[in-house]
Amino acid sequence: MRIGFIVYAPSQINSFIKSKVFEELREKTEITLFCTNKELQKELSGIYGYESILLRIPWAVRKVVGYHQMITLWRFKDRSMNHLVRAMASFGNNHQRALWKCVVVSEMSLSSLKRILVKIMSFNPFYSFVSFAQELIWKINFLTKWRKVFTKEDTILVPFSGHIGADFSTLVWNGRRHKKYVVAIQENWDNLSTKTYITQKPDLFLVWGKQSAAHLRNVHRCFDVPTEVVGSPRFGPYFDDSKLSNPTVSLASGKMVSLKNKKFVLVAGTGDGIDDEMLVKSVQSCIKNLRTKSQEIVIIYRPHPMTRTRIDFQALQRSIKNILIDSGPHARDFGHHNALVKNAIATVNHFSSEAVESLIAGVPSVIPLFLGRKDANYRYEHILSEWHHMMGLALIPQILTPNTKEEFEEVLKSILTRPLKSKSVPIDWICTSDLYVEKVIRSVKKNHVKIS
């Protein structure tokens, strides 16, 4: 078996390159690295020392396939609440967009004409015409040009990141068209329950857990695509205690600060960023109101790397003396934050995969439901109950969901005075445990044999 591994998004470098997944695969099987843009190719070569083959996807292909993704989202919007929210907020009329405006930024910025065209083209015969145009532009651009691309590879691994774009569909189509065994790999927790729909089916889908396998069926209607549960490479460090004993903070100055034997609360910044300062100050208020001996508790704030609203770090540090901001050059190193999660008294976050990590680590996770854009009608309490990957989380005792700022402070005060730390919660249903690479290779070989 010879594998072609394709990287097409920056996040995949963290998930599969920094995590050493590609390196381990290379040690256990023959493998070639491909990528779909020059910037990624330069990063792979210059920083990580991996040579890769560039797969060019022309601008016209990206436009047609991206447009097909958008009209597919509107056409099948009723399959899940997340897709409905995203479709209405992006393509609905002014009333619909206001009604479905979400606390999490879910909408695309499009003109009125484009929104109308998306809705019109989602109906037949127009939808069939765009699907035909997509197939035609793939044949024109790739049937001959890519015939010799995968000459040595019999298996193609394609990460699925769940975003509207041309890469995944185009790569799966090409792999299958050129008679390769195409294996899709789930990259993140919500990839199969949010954002877009799978229109080109791989031969095999490797997923985090049974929850995601169900999403593949009930959201994407991929009833005939075999699935194998392999977990996530990002959670591997939680199953190796030697990597979790010394939590550190990477400061902007480049200095690394050890938190060994220190008490701290970990606050994860949000993508929107508008509530980060309030969250941090609320945590500080709770700590201040505790007894003197609890004043030693440190606040660790990790800003979201892609936040849309940056706060003034220096001003925050001047107003809060016991805060450390994990935003330095090593803050995004693979596995850096795992020890912070494992050793925290509690984590504060907004439905990120850090909530799952907290469960694995046996640490209570506080998810405030009262934050987000004030003018949004679709709130966090709706997300918790209605988005596929969130359903059932509220039943887990270590997940705490205060509805008001006052409740948030009470919950946090309770945790700080009587820590809830306990043994980890078994969450194999969401994400199975370690040995990721071995499971990937075993799953591919097992299913490859079935069709050989």
Q: Following DSSP, what letter does each residue of 230-295 receive, concatenated?
A: ---GGGGGGG-GGGTSS-EEE-TTS-EEE-TT--EEEEEPPSS-TTHHHHHHHHHHHHHTS-GGGG
**282 and 399 co-located in one domain:** yes
Q: How many domains does the chain have?
A: 3
- Per the domain annotation, does 158 fall within a domain? yes
Write out the residue range of the structural domain in which residue 390 sits: 246-417
- Assess whether 111 and 164 both reside in one domain: no
Q: Which helix (H) or strand (E) holds 191?
A: none
More confident residue, 251 or 304: 251
pLDDT digits (tens, 9 = 90+) for 142-165: 988 888 888 889 999 999 998 899
Residue 285 lies in a domain: yes
Query: Using alpha carbons only, what angle is made at residue 86 by residues 80 and 88, rounded to the nearest 5 degrees?
Result: 100
Q: What's the confidence (pLDDT) of residue 425?
A: 66
Nearest alpha-carbon partner for 119 in 78, 79, 91: 91
Tell me how far apart the alpha carbons of residues 195 and 193 are, in angstroms, rounded to a whole number.
7
Q: How far apart are CA 390 and CA 380, in angstroms?
A: 11
Q: Contact at 8 Å (CB) between 373 and 103?
A: yes
Q: How many CA atoms lie within 13 A of 294 on its CB side?
A: 19
Mean pLDDT over all residues of the chain? 89
Same domain? For 251 and 334 the reply is: yes
- 399 & 254 share domain: yes
Residue 137 falls inside a structural domain: no
Is 121 part of any domain? yes
Coil, strand or helix at 417:
helix
The whole-number average pLDDT for the span 113-127 is: 96
pLDDT at 421: 55
CB count in 10 Å sphere of residue 270: 24
**What predicted TM-score, i.e. pTM, was given to this entire model?**
0.92
41 part of a folded domain:
yes
Q: Please identify, among 76, 97, 127, the residue that sits at the C-terminal boundary of a domain.
A: 127
CA pair distance 160, 184, nearest whole angstrom: 6
DSSP 126-172: HHHHHHHHHHHHHHHHHTTTTTTTTSS-SEEEEEE---SSSHHHHHH
pLDDT (mean) for 273-301: 79
- With CA atoms as reference, report the closest residue to 209 among 392, 338, 79, 335: 392
Do residue 218 and residue 253 come from a single domain? no
Q: Which residues contact 133 (CB under 8 A, 6 or more apart)?
A: 64
- The answer to the question of residue 422 being in a domain is no
pLDDT above 70 coverage of the chain, percent? 95
Residue 80 covered by a domain: yes
Strands 248-250 and 227-229: unpaired
Phi first, then psi, for residue 205 (nearest 5°) are: -125, 125
pLDDT tens, position by position, 184-195: 999 999 999 988
Tell me, what's the pLDDT at 431?
A: 87
